[in-house]
Structure 1
Amino acid sequence: MEGLDKARLLAGWLDEKQGADIIIMNVAGLSSVTDVTIVVSARGMKHAQALADAVLARASENAIEFLGMEGYQSGEWVLMDLNDVLIHIFQSESREFYNIEGMWSEAPRVATSA
């Protein structure tokens, strides 16, 4: 599955679990570690963990490669590595502070549905 198609699928799963303000950025050619970055907001620690759990479960069901995760315990900023797609799950204050969207301001935004 191509990175952008995978990202749309993952964003759909995040939306189903009420992830907020989902943004998909095409960072291919701008990043050496991934092709697509997804940023999503969670309402709190438990919600961030639930979003991560849902992505893990669905990725496993759909044979999508999962390489690792950081920040799950605190739930403030959960980083999920799905090879060519990175997912950043933030609580609102952390999302504003780290400003991933601003860091990748030159990356084209991708519609969450084709």
Structure 2
Amino acid sequence: MNKEKKFVEMASVDKARSVAGWLDDKQGERITLIDVSGLSSVTDMILVVSARGVKHAQALASHVLDKAAEENMEFLSMEGHKTGEWVLIDLNDVLVHVFLDDLREFYNIEGMWTEAPRVGLQA
């Protein structure tokens, strides 16, 4: 007896590119995709995006959750949605960081992963 798969199966990079497209559709800024698959045991891809303000950050995060549900993508958790300054969305093999610009520069996620390759948003 075969169990029906609960979530869609797709390569992490394809999943991350889909999410990046959703963020671009909602005018997310400075979208960066980082492949940490060889460096992290927690996730494969990190996606960083800037929002113009708190409401925009919350809207971006909500849009990602809505689209993930539509596409039957696995969603584990979300932190920071209420304050909207830094929202972390855990899609298992893809972590999405939605930042206000000031906090993005302060936490410098990209700088923490300088040895990880950047991935183009288009295949």
Q: TM bucket by the smaller chain?
A: over 0.9
Query: What's the Cα RMSD here?
Result: 0.4
1:20 aligns with 2:32: no
Q: Deviation above 6 Å: which 4+ runs of structure 1? A: none
Paired letter, 2:77: G
Alignment partners' CA distance in 1, 2:105 and 2:38: 25
Structure 2 partner of 1:80: 89
How many residues are treated as equivalent by the alignment? 114
1:29 CA displacement? 1.6
The higher radius of gyration belongs to: 2
1:88 CA displacement? 0.2
Residue by residue, what CA displacement relative to the aligned partner does 1:35-71 show, whole Å, maximum 9, x if unpaired?
0000000001100000001000000000000000011
TM-score, normalised to structure 1's length?
0.99
Paired letter, 2:74: E
Identity %: 65
Structure 1 partner of 2:5: none
Query: In structure 1, the residue corresponding to 2:64 is in which secondary structure?
Result: helix
Structure 1 partner of 2:66: 57
Q: Give unmatched runs, 5+ long, in structure 2.
A: 1-9
TM-score, normalised to structure 2's length?
0.92
1:12 CA displacement? 0.2
1:27 CA displacement? 0.2
1:32 CA displacement? 1.3
Within 5 Å, which residues of 2 pair with 1:33-48? 33-48=42-57
Alignment partners' CA distance in 2, 1:98 and 1:32: 21
Paired letter, 2:25: E
Alignment partners' CA distance in 2, 1:97 and 1:59: 28
